[in-house]
Amino acid sequence: MTKAFIFLGPPGCGKGTQTDILSKELNLPHVDTGSLLRKNISEKTEIGKIAQGYIDKGQLVPLEVVSTVIKNRLMEDDCKNGYILDGFPRSLEQAGALDKIIEELNQKIEMTAVYFDIPTEVLVERLVNRRSCPKCGKIYNIKTSAPKVENKCDDCKVDLIQRKDDTKETALLRFETYEKETHPLLDFYTKRGVLKTINANQPVKDVWAELAKIAGI
Ligand code: AMP
């Protein structure tokens, strides 16, 4: 049986940080469409060229593009025993596409959708203060979880970067997209009986405690 976790929540809710912890604990790959798309952009692939304009505007990249990226990733060997989906699906049509991909890959799935519940007011601040390591992907917040040396990754010692779409203007557009496209998924996975909700408006270790319980750790 393949364990699939689907992490849902607005931009900056802490899904990425928690996925990293869960991924290490359960030895499951972290499949993050945002990072996969950004990798395509930095490698200047065809997919990257299409994705760039949508990402800059805080809009969803078209279905065929993200479906291709996800399908290719889920076909890789390390996804055989399960995976944690962070940032996919992000709309009802993507949820349908995911079901189709799982069927095509003939995976027997035990699915758990986890909603990171947090008021959006606190998130703009989080996003504009977010920095990450370009090498290992570790996420920092310059106000609440700053690196030991200013703007350097604690582990890799390289300069941290700020995502281009983590500005206030683009963040607000991303929230709008989230409300319109992604929020309806909560109802979709509730009806399917697989949705669990955690309070994401607390320190990382407390969010993790709730998530660990859900994951049976
Ligand atoms: P994230 O890193 O998850 O915040 O995603 C950054 C941006 O990548 C989003 O604002 C979208 O433009 C794009 N993106 C990421 N995941 C998806 C997805 N599942 N569907 C469409 N666009 C996506």
pLDDT in tens, 71-126: 999 999 999 999 999 999 999 999 999 999 999 999 999 999 999 999 888 898 88
Mutate to test the pocket of ligand 1, among 20, 55, 161 (most ligand atoms within 8 A of CB): 55
Catalytic residues: 15, 90, 130, 163, 174
Atom 14 (ligand 1) nearest CA: 34
Q: What is the full DSSP assignment across 96-113?
A: HHHHHHHHHTT--EEEEE
Distance between CA atoms of 37 and 47, rounded to whole angstroms?
A: 8
Distance between CA atoms of 165 and 39, rounded to whole angstroms?
A: 15
Distance between CA atoms of 161 and 186, rounded to whole angstroms?
A: 32
Our answer on whether the CB atom of 175 is closer than 6 Å to any ligand 1 atom is: no
Tens of pLDDT, residues 139-155: 899 998 999 999 999 99
Cα distances from 110 to residues 22, 75, 97, 213, in angstroms, run: 16, 17, 17, 16
Our answer on whether the CB atom of 67 is closer than 6 Å to any ligand 1 atom is: no
2-29+76-215 in CATH: which number? 3.40.50.300
With a cut of 80, say whether residue 18 has pLDDT above it.
Answer: yes
Map residue 84 onto helix, strand or coil: strand
Our answer on whether the CB atom of 215 is closer than 6 Å to any ligand 1 atom is: no
Tens of pLDDT, residues 163-195: 888 888 998 999 999 999 999 999 999 999 999
Biggest distance spanned by C-alpha atoms of the chain: 47
Please, which pLDDT band fits residue 137 given cuts at 50, 70 and 90? Answer: confident
With a cut of 80, say whether residue 1 has pLDDT above it.
Answer: no
pLDDT at 207 (0 to 100): 97
pLDDT at 122 (0 to 100): 85
Query: By C-alpha distance, which of 158, 162, 183 is closest to 171?
Result: 162
Domain residue ranges of the chain, discontinuous segments joined by +: 2-29+76-215
Residue 37 alpha carbon to ligand 1 centre in Å: 8
pLDDT at 121 (0 to 100): 80
Between CA 115 and CA 130, with CA 88 as vertex, the angle to 5 degrees is 70
